[in-house]
Structure 1
Amino acid sequence: MTRPDVVVVGSGPNGLAAAVTLARANLRVLVLEAEPTVGGGARTLDLGLADGVVHDVCSAVHPMAWASPFFRELDLPARGVELLVPDVSYAQPLPGGRAGIAYRDLDRTVEALGVDGPAWRSLVGGDPSTVVRLALGDKRSVPAVSPRRAAHFGLAVLEQGTRAWDRRFLDDVAPALLTGVAAHAISPMPSFAAAGTALLLGTLAHAEGGWPIPRGGSGALTAALVEDLEAHGGTIRTDHRVRGHADLPVAHCYVFDTTPRTLVEVLGDRLPARTRAALEAFEYGDAAAKVDFVLDGPVPWTVPEVGRAGTVHVGGTRAEMARAEATVASGRHAELPMTLVSDPAVVDERRVVHGRRPLWTYAHVPSGSDVDVTEAVTRHIERFAPGFRDVVVTSRCTPAARLSEHNQNYVDGDISAGRASIRQLFARPTWRFDPYFSGRDGVYLCSASTPPGPGVHGLGGWYAAKRVLREFGITTTPSLAP
Structure 2
Amino acid sequence: MERNRYDAIVVGTGPNGLAAGITLQRQGLSVLIVEGKDTVGGGMRSAELTLPGYLHDICSAIHPMALMSPFFQSVPLQDFGVEFIQPTYAAAHAFDDGSAALLHQSLEKTARGLGTDEQAYLDFMGPLLEDMPRLLPGLLGPFTFPEHPVALAKFGLKALPPATWSVNRFKTKEARGLWAGMAAHSIQPLENVATSAFGIMLAAAAHLYGWPVPKGGSQSLANALSDYFISLGGEVRTGFLVNNLKELPESKVILMDVTPKQLARIAADELSASYRGRLNSYRYGSGVFKVDWALDEPIPFTSEVCKGAGTVHLGNTFEDIARYESGISKHIESDKPFILLAQQSAFDPTRAPEGKHTAWAYCHVPNGSTRDMTAAIENQIELVAPGFKDLIKEKHIMGPAQIEAYNPNYIGGDINGGVQDIFQLYSRPVLSVSPYRTSASNIYICSSSTPPGGGVHGMCGYHAASQALKDIFKIQIPF
Normalised by the size of structure 2, how large is the TM-score?
0.95
Q: 1:127-166, aligned counterparts within 5 Å? A: 127=129, 128-130=132-134, 132-138=136-142, 140-145=143-148, 147=150, 149-159=151-161, 161=162, 163-166=164-167
Identity of aligned residues (%): 37
Whether the aligned pair in 1 keeps the contact of 2:38 and 2:239 (CA below 8 Å) is yes
SS at match of 1:290: strand
2:99 is matched with which residue?
98
Name the CA distance, whole Å, in 2 between partners of 1:399 and 1:224.
29
1:307 is matched with which residue?
307
SS at match of 1:422: coil
**Residues 358 and 229 of structure 1, relative CA distance in 2, 3 Å threshold:** same
Whether the aligned pair in 2 keeps the contact of 1:50 and 1:356 (CA below 8 Å) is no
1:23 is matched with which residue?
25
**Residues 448 and 78 of structure 1, relative CA distance in 2, 3 Å threshold:** same
- Output the amino acid matched with 2:466: K
2:297 is matched with which residue?
297
Q: Deviations over 1:398-440 (max 9, x none)?
A: 1112211111100000000101211001211111111100121
Moved more, 281-290 or 162-171: 162-171
Q: Deviations over 1:315-362 (max 9, x none)?
A: 110011011112211113221111111011232122231332221111
SS at match of 1:4: strand
Give the Å deviation of 1:197: 0.7
**Residues 69 and 437 of structure 1, relative CA distance in 2, 3 Å threshold:** same
1:37 is matched with which residue?
39
- Output the amino acid matched with 1:182: A
Give the Å deviation of 1:104: 1.0
SS at match of 1:282: coil
Name the CA distance, whole Å, in 1 between partners of 2:263 and 2:65.
26
State yes or no: 1:79 paired with 2:80.
yes
**Residues 91 and 16 of structure 1, relative CA distance in 2, 3 Å threshold:** same
SS at match of 2:325: helix
Give the Å deviation of 1:246: 2.8
1:368 is matched with which residue?
368
Name the CA distance, whole Å, in 2 between partners of 1:229 and 1:474.
22
**Residues 85 and 226 of structure 1, relative CA distance in 2, 3 Å threshold:** same
2:321 is matched with which residue?
321
**Residues 163 and 23 of structure 1, relative CA distance in 2, 3 Å threshold:** closer
Give the Å deviation of 1:394: 1.0
Name the CA distance, whole Å, in 2 between partners of 1:199 and 1:425.
16
Give the Å deviation of 1:25: 1.8
- Output the amino acid matched with 1:177: L
Name the CA distance, whole Å, in 2 between partners of 1:134 and 1:471.
21
Whether the aligned pair in 1 keeps the contact of 2:80 and 2:228 (CA below 8 Å) is no
Whether the aligned pair in 1 keeps the contact of 2:160 and 2:195 (CA below 8 Å) is no
**Residues 468 and 307 of structure 1, relative CA distance in 2, 3 Å threshold:** same
- Output the amino acid matched with 1:42: M
Whether the aligned pair in 2 keeps the contact of 1:65 and 1:456 (CA below 8 Å) is yes
Whether the aligned pair in 2 keeps the contact of 1:133 and 1:143 (CA below 8 Å) is no
Whether the aligned pair in 1 keeps the contact of 2:163 and 2:194 (CA below 8 Å) is no
Give the Å deviation of 1:272: 2.0
Moved more, 191-200 or 429-438: 191-200
Whether the aligned pair in 2 keeps the contact of 1:83 and 1:215 (CA below 8 Å) is yes
SS at match of 2:5: coil
- Output the amino acid matched with 2:35: E
1:347 is matched with which residue?
347
SS at match of 1:164: helix
Runs of 5+ consecutive residues of structure 1 not aligned to the other structure: none
Give the Å deviation of 1:476: 4.4
Give the Å deviation of 1:196: 1.0
Name the CA distance, whole Å, in 1 between partners of 2:29 and 2:160.
44
- Output the amino acid matched with 2:473: G
1:356 is matched with which residue?
356
Give the Å deviation of 1:21: 1.5
The RMSD of aligned alpha carbons is: 1.7
- Output the amino acid matched with 1:271: L
Give the Å deviation of 1:274: 2.4
State yes or no: 1:232 paired with 2:232.
yes
Moved more, 243-252 or 123-132: 123-132
Name the CA distance, whole Å, in 2 between partners of 1:162 and 1:22.
38
Normalised by the size of structure 1, how large is the TM-score?
0.94
SS at match of 1:251: strand
Whether the aligned pair in 2 keeps the contact of 1:25 and 1:478 (CA below 8 Å) is no
Give the Å deviation of 1:306: 0.9
1:60 is matched with which residue?
61
- Output the amino acid matched with 2:144: S
Give the Å deviation of 1:269: 4.2
SS at match of 1:426: coil
Whether the aligned pair in 2 keeps the contact of 1:133 and 1:145 (CA below 8 Å) is no
Give the Å deviation of 1:166: 3.5
- Output the amino acid matched with 1:336: K
Moved more, 124-133 or 335-344: 124-133
Give the Å deviation of 1:191: 2.0
Q: 1:253-292, aligned counterparts within 5 Å? A: 253-292=253-292
**Residues 220 and 144 of structure 1, relative CA distance in 2, 3 Å threshold:** farther
**Residues 163 and 104 of structure 1, relative CA distance in 2, 3 Å threshold:** closer
1:435 is matched with which residue?
435
Name the CA distance, whole Å, in 1 between partners of 2:348 and 2:419.
33
Whether the aligned pair in 2 keeps the contact of 1:35 and 1:241 (CA below 8 Å) is yes
- Output the amino acid matched with 1:420: Q
2:379 is matched with which residue?
379
- Output the amino acid matched with 2:329: A
Q: Deviations over 1:160-192 (max 9, x none)?
A: x16433421221210110110111111011223
2:410 is matched with which residue?
410
1:206 is matched with which residue?
207
Whether the aligned pair in 1 keeps the contact of 2:138 and 2:144 (CA below 8 Å) is no
Runs of 5+ consecutive residues of structure 2 not aligned to the other structure: none
Name the CA distance, whole Å, in 2 between partners of 1:448 and 1:166.
28
Q: Deviations over 1:358-394 (max 9, x none)?
A: 2111111111012332211100111111111111111
Whether the aligned pair in 2 keeps the contact of 1:86 and 1:212 (CA below 8 Å) is yes
Whether the aligned pair in 1 keeps the contact of 2:242 and 2:266 (CA below 8 Å) is yes
Name the CA distance, whole Å, in 2 between partners of 1:334 and 1:135.
34
**Residues 162 and 76 of structure 1, relative CA distance in 2, 3 Å threshold:** closer
Name the CA distance, whole Å, in 1 between partners of 2:124 and 2:22.
36
Moved more, 183-192 or 315-324: 183-192
SS at match of 1:285: coil
Whether the aligned pair in 2 keeps the contact of 1:7 and 1:32 (CA below 8 Å) is yes
Give the Å deviation of 1:57: 1.0
2:189 is matched with which residue?
188
Whether the aligned pair in 1 keeps the contact of 2:30 and 2:234 (CA below 8 Å) is yes
